[in-house]
Amino acid sequence: MAKKLYIGGLPYSTTNEELKEFFGEAGTVSSANVIIDKMSGRSRGFGFVEMENDADAEKAVEMFNEKELGGRRIIVNEARPMEDRPKRTGGGGGGYNRGGGDRGGYNNRNF
């Protein structure tokens, strides 16, 4: 059965093909996907590799976790299903304080 691995700390220049080739040293790679930011079109610095079987996935974790790829130390571990990830806390995201308020020190008269 195929097993998906999370790969963190990737160099931003890493391509899907380079990732697949790199992990191919550990066994048969079913797929390799570098995650791309939708807005900028740049790599987000992490990706996923799906190994054909559990033995190859375990070998890849042992071989590549904390190893260097393209000058950066990568993190390799078994990917967790989306529903198993902890929820983010700490308030809602983004937004700007658009409140008016006094612009102290300015004279608001029209000249």
Q: Tell me, yes or no, whether 56 lies in a domain.
A: yes
pLDDT at 83: 77
Which of 1-5, 30-34, 105-109 bottoms out in mean pLDDT, i.e. has the lowest?
105-109
Q: What is the pLDDT of residue 29?
A: 97
Is residue 14 assigned to a domain?
yes
Establish if 37 belongs to a structural domain.
yes
- Is 69 inside a domain boundary? yes
Q: 56-89: per-residue pLDDT in tens?
A: 999 999 999 999 999 999 999 999 887 766 666 6
Number of domains making up the chain: 1
Distance CA 64, CA 55 (A): 14
Query: What CATH number has the domain bearing residue 18?
Result: 3.30.70.330
Domain ranges, residue 35: 3-81
